[in-house]
Chains A and B, each alone.
Chain A
Amino acid sequence: MNIYSVAEATRYLRELLEADSLLADIWVSGEVSNLTESAAGHLYFTLKDETSQLRCVFFRPKLAITLENGAAVITHGRISIYEVSGALQLYVDLVQLEGVGILHLEFERLKVKLEEEGLFEPARKRSLPLFPKRIGVVTSPTGAVFYDIASIIGRRYPLVELVLSPSLVQGDGAVDGIVQALQALNDMEDIDMVILARGGGSLEDLWAFNEEKVARAIYASKAPVISGVGHDTDFTIADFVADVRAPTPSAAAELAVPDCAELEAHIQSLTKTLRIDVTRYLDRYRQRTDELTRAASVYLGNSLTISREKLRGRELELASLSPLATLSRGYALVQQSTTGEVVSHIDQVQRGDAIDIKVSDGQFKGRVTGSKKGLQGWMNSFPSKKH
C-alpha cells in the first residue's frame, strides 16, 4: 500500500486532468456568480447551473463585454486543479454572452490567441512586389473564382505566369487541402506572391479560412500572401494573417498586378519627360553657342578697328614718302613720252626726245634741246624761295 502526501495526491490529480485533451480545450456555459476582481485585475467567479458549480479564474481578462453576476455566458479554457487549495477550477481565456454562435466564439478565441502570438503584427506584413513574374493561386480549380482571377490578371498585366495550386475550399478536407496547396507553392523557388481566394458563402462555407492550421500555413509562406475570401463584409482569420487583405477574389487579382494601360501612360509620360529634358539640353547648348559666336564677333570687330587704325597710320607714313609730296616742294618728275621711263640719269635722254614733265598740280610736254652731264652751276640756277 502506497501512502501519498497531499501534495503528491493533488499533483497526480492535476497531471491526470491536464493529460486530458477535452479538459485542456473546453467550452462551458453557465451563469456567473460570486464575481470578484483582484487588485491585479484578475477575475474570480463561479459558473453555475441548476445542479452544479464550477470555480473559474480569468487572468488578465480581455473582455469586449461587461461581466456581471447573473449573466448567462459561454466560457472557453482549460480545467485543472489549483494545488494550493486543492480546488478544481476552469482557467478561462474567453468569455462571451450566451446567444452568440459557437463558430463566432471559436473565431474570437483564435483571433485573440494568434494576435497575442504576433501573427497579425503590422510590422510583419510584407509589401507586394510591383512587377511579379510568377503568382501562385490557391483556390478551387473549378468554378468562377480562378477564371475571374486569370481573366483580370490577363487583361491588366499578362506578363506573369499563374501557378494554380488547386485545393478544396470548403467541407471536409478543405483545411488540409489549403495547407498542402500553400505548402506546394512554398516549396517552389520563384513564386513572387500567393493569392488565396474563395468566392462568397456562409460563415460555415468560409470556415476553413478561420482554422488555425490555415492561418499558420499563411504565416509560413515565403512569398507575401493576398487573401481574397468571400465578400467585402466577410473577415476571416486568413485575412488577418495575410500580408494584404483583399475584399474579394477579383480585388485580390487587381491588387496583385499593375495595370498595363496605366503602365503605358507612365511610359508615355517618361518619354515626354525625356524629350523635354533633351530639348532643354539642346537649347542650353544652342544658346551657349550663340553667346560664344556673339562674343567672338565682338572680339573680331574690335580687332578690325584696331587694324584699321594701324592701317591709317601706315597710310600717313606712306603719304609722306609719296612723290606728290616731293613735287609739291618744287621738284618735277620727267618721263620719256614714248616709254614712260622715269628719267633720273642724264644718259637716259638724247637731244630731240619728247618728254612728259609732271609737277605737283599738272603736267606738260617738252622736248630735250640739249643736255650736259654734271651739275656745275646747278645751285645757282635753282630758284630761290620767295618769302
Chain B
Amino acid sequence: MDEQLSFEEALNRLEKIVHALQGGGLTLEEAIALFEDGMSLAKICNERLNAAELKITQLQADFEPEPEHKDE
C-alpha cells in the first residue's frame, strides 16, 4: 500500500473497496485481497488523522493592526 497517500485519497479508495466488496461477483482471492487492501487503507486513514498537526502561516507577516479592536 502506498505510504504517500493523503487522508482523502486513502478514504476515497477505502470507500471504493467497500463498495466493490458489497457488489459481489468477486473470486475468493479477489475478495480477500480487497479486504486486506481496505484494512491497510483504514490504518493509513487513522494514522493520518492521528499524526496531523495544524499548520498556520501568515501572509504579510509585518502586518500591524491599529489598536482599536477592543471588542473582538
Stretch at the interface among A82-90, A196-204, A212-220, A378-386: A196-204
A271–B21 CA distance with the chains assembled, in angstroms: 11
Contact between chains at A162 and B46 (CB < 8 Å) = no
Assuming the contacts A164-B58, A184-B60, A267-B46, asked whether A141 and B65 have C-beta atoms less than 8 A apart, the reply is yes
A273 beta carbon closer than 8 Å to chain B: yes
B69–A170 CB distance below 8 A:
yes
A29-68 interface bits toward B, Cβ cutoff 8 Å, 1 = contact, 0 = none? 0000000000000000000000000000000000000000
Q: Most chain-B CB neighbours within 10 Å: which of A141, A181, A198, A267?
A: A267
Q: Is there contact, CB below 8 Å, between B7 and A131?
A: yes
Q: What's the least CB distance linking B14 to chain A, in Å?
A: 6
Nearest CB of A to B17, in Å: 7
Q: Which residues of A (349-370) have their CB < 8 Å from a CB of B? A: none
Complex Cα–Cα for A157 and B48 (A): 11
**Interface SS of chain A:** mixed
- Nearest Cβ in chain A — how far from B65, in angstroms? 5
User: 13 additional contacts, CB 8 Å, given A170-B69, A263-B45?
Assistant: A140-B65, A143-B72, A160-B55, A166-B58, A166-B60, A166-B63, A173-B66, A181-B59, A270-B15, A271-B39, A273-B18, A273-B22, A274-B17
Can you list 18 residue pairs at the A/B interface with Cβ under 8 Å? A150-B56, A154-B54, A157-B52, A158-B52, A162-B57, A163-B57, A185-B59, A199-B71, A201-B72, A263-B49, A270-B14, A273-B18, A278-B21, A278-B31, A278-B34, A282-B28, A282-B31, A285-B28
Q: Give residues in A with beta carbon < 8 Å to B.
A: 130-131, 133, 140-145, 150, 153-154, 157-166, 168-171, 173, 181, 184-185, 198-201, 205, 260, 263-264, 267, 270-271, 273-275, 277-278, 281-282, 285
